[in-house]
Amino acid sequence: MAAGGESVMQRTFLMIEYMSRRGQKLSLQEIANGLSLPAVAVRRLLSSLTDMGYVAQDEDKQYYLTYKMYKVAGKSINRDGFVRNLIPYMNYFALQYKGEVGLTVFDNGAIVHILNVGQNNNFSGNSLPRPGQLFPAYCSAAGKVFLAQMEDEALKRWLEEGVFLPYTSFTIIDKEQLYQAIQETRGQGYGVGARELYDDVYAVAFPIHDQSGGVTGTFNFRMLPETYQERMQSGFVDKVQRELKNFGL
């Protein structure tokens, strides 16, 4: 066991989760501080992961997870063909609505971005999600969809225990307002992120169901504010919901 009662394996996975959650390049000291670990221990872990190809270091000595890591994660997620089976539908929606469609799943209270199809070159680089990146549930359209599946008492406990920080000036951090937003999502059957995670991004998330009717993921349509207004006034939601139903999703 490593110092502090954690094994080397536990520390390794804690570091991988932390780097994925941060979603950006980090210095050795930033990682050490974020995990409350000695820098020398973090250096050894990073060195091992770098040798294996899961972590890389740029010219400024900043560390980041490589696509090899995301590839391994993708194989785990896709073990039953989940992603592969959904890509044709995502391509359909990306072509139909001439934009970007993302796929997310819910894991341990956070949203995990799996992949994007289609292109939207109007967004800034910082607002482009990467495979494996984690997002908070409370300020994302997909997160509201998953939170809306919770029993009401469980949702209230989750809200009571949660700490909600503003990612933008539009982020809902008042617990009563957030509860109402999740209730609205539950009633309408889709979630909206109104510039709550990124200043320049609106998102509309639609649930994807398994054969038993449970929500296993979401399709997310990201758009600029002006595009959002146009689409919401043109029957966009009804069309997508009808098409998802016809596809058996």
Whole-prediction pTM: 0.70
Q: Is residue 127 situated within a structural domain?
A: yes
Of 76 and 17, the one with more pLDDT = 17
Q: What is the pLDDT, as a whole number, of residue 73?
A: 60
Of 205 and 126, the one with more pLDDT = 205
Same domain, 50 and 116: no
Domain with residue 119: its CATH number is 3.30.450.40
Q: Is residue 35 situated within a structural domain?
A: yes
Of 102 and 129, the one with more pLDDT = 102
Same domain, 138 and 111: yes
Q: How many CB atoms lie within 10 A of CB 47?
A: 12
Q: Are 186 and 178 in contact (CB under 8 A)?
A: no
The Cα–Cα gap between 225 and 220 comes to 15
Could you give the C-alpha distances from 139 to 86, 167, 174, 235, in angstroms and in order?
A: 25, 8, 11, 24
Q: Are 146 and 111 in contact (CB under 8 A)?
A: yes
Q: What is the mean pLDDT of the chain?
A: 85
Q: Pick from 38, 65, 92: which residue ends a domain?
A: 65
Same domain, 41 and 143: no
Of 23 and 138, the one with more pLDDT = 138
Model confidence at 221, pLDDT cuts 50, 70, 90, reads very high
The Cα–Cα gap between 77 and 194 comes to 28
Same domain, 60 and 87: no
Model confidence at 3, pLDDT cuts 50, 70, 90, reads very low
How many domains does the structure of the chain reveal?
2
Q: Are 205 and 218 in contact (CB under 8 A)?
A: yes
Same domain, 133 and 197: yes
Cβ-proximal residues to 54 (8 Å cutoff; 6+ apart), any chain: 16, 65, 66, 68, 69, 72
